[in-house]
Amino acid sequence: MNRIGYFFLYLALIVVAMFQILPLIWLFIFSLKDNREIFAGSPFALPSEFRWENYVKVWDGGIGVYFFNSVWITVVAIILTVLFASMATFAITRMKWKLSGLVLGLFMIGLMIPIHSALIPLYSMFMGVGMIDNPWSIVLTYTAYNLPITMMILLGFYYTLPKEVEEAAIIDGCSIHRMFFRIILPMTTPVMATTVVINMIYNWNEFVFVNTFISSEKYKTLTVGIQNFIGQYMTDWGAIGATLIISVLPIIIAFIFFSNKVVEGISSSAVKG
């Protein structure tokens, strides 16, 4: 009976996986066709000629600028978010001070603030300091908005780190800063990998803030800049497909390489919590 149950379980998982993968396969095949093959043939039929020039066309057309903007903004925002969240979580969970509970509550309130309710206040603030149409306004916004969820993931892990390690470090003359960077951070690598992937998915796919704060083409990210390409290549559907593949490929690669780390980090945090 157990074998039969596992058989149907894996069968159901395979079916679900196929439904998830088929749209990506279709989009990839779509991106290698011309308009005639797209509208005349079967959606899943292979093209008579693989038109890799669709990718060259959109890359040379300027999507490379949007791609690299997305890369550096995402990377910088992830580094700042994970570093600040780790510091705050360390201070709240490993150090004794009166207002630690209140400060943690203030951070967690950030989880309840809808993105759209903050657009006008953030726009007014960035306008006042001259940061509208500046990519650093996007970096700071991503960092601030991702701090609560990142800290929430880190909390369960930090609460149960063995205090003996810190006591031994202090006895050996280790300062708080050195202890954090040399001992605590390396111990939290699995859960940090989880927060990195979650932050990457959010930052890479975010649309509202970039569309509101950025107007110059040279600062736009893929999610916003891709609109221009869809309009520019409205009659060239193969080029539109190539643009969409380029936009989703980094997330797919990241998930393939770090999916085990995500599961490991979440499970370890949950068990320790």
Task: Give the residue, 153 or 1, on which the prediction is more confident.
Answer: 153
Of the pLDDT bands very low, low, confident and very high (cuts 50, 70, 90), residue 273 is very low
The C-alpha atoms of residue 21 and residue 26 are separated, in whole angstroms, by 9
pLDDT of residue 234: 64
Of the pLDDT bands very low, low, confident and very high (cuts 50, 70, 90), residue 192 is confident
Residue with tokens 């953030």: 122
Q: How many CB atoms lie within 10 A of CB 169?
A: 18
pTM of the complete model: 0.83
Six token digits for residue 265 = 């980090």
> What φ, ψ does residue 99 adopt, rounded to 5°?
-95, 15
Residue 272 has pLDDT above 60, yes or no: no
- Lowest mean per-residue pLDDT among 140-149, 184-193, 206-215, 225-234: 225-234
Residue 258 has pLDDT above 80, yes or no: no
List Cα–Cα distances, 1 to 8, 10, 11, 12, 272, in angstroms. 11, 14, 15, 17, 34
Residues 6+ apart with CB under 8 A from 73: 135, 138, 139, 142, 203, 221
The C-alpha atoms of residue 164 and residue 110 are separated, in whole angstroms, by 33
Q: How many CB atoms lie within 10 A of CB 150?
A: 27
Counting Cα atoms < 13 Å in the Cβ hemisphere of 205 gives 11
Of the pLDDT bands very low, low, confident and very high (cuts 50, 70, 90), residue 42 is confident
pLDDT, one tens digit per residue, over 43-55 is 778 888 888 888 8
- Lowest mean per-residue pLDDT among 1-5, 54-58, 247-251: 1-5
Which amino acid appears at position 9 of this protein?
L
The C-alpha atoms of residue 230 and residue 209 are separated, in whole angstroms, by 20
Mean pLDDT of 91-114: 87
The angle at the Cα of 187, spanning 162 to 102, to the nearest 5 degrees, equals 65
Average confidence score pLDDT of the chain: 85
Q: How many CB atoms lie within 10 A of CB 254?
A: 16
Pick from 197, 230, 224: nearest CA to 208: 224
- Lowest mean per-residue pLDDT among 115-129, 189-203, 220-234: 220-234
Residue 109 has pLDDT above 70, yes or no: yes
Of the pLDDT bands very low, low, confident and very high (cuts 50, 70, 90), residue 231 is low
pLDDT of residue 84: 95
Q: Using H for helix, E for strand and C for coil, what is the string for 80-147?
A: HHHHHHHHHHHHHHHCCCCCHHHHHHHHHHHHHCCCHHHHHHHHHHHHHCCCCCCHHHHHHHHHHHHH
User: What is the set of domains in the chain, with CATH numbers?
Assistant: 1-51 (no CATH), 62-272 (1.10.3720.10)
Percent of the residues in the chain that have a pLDDT greater than 70, as a whole number: 91
pLDDT of residue 144: 92
Residue 226 has pLDDT above 50, yes or no: yes
Mean pLDDT of 28-42: 82
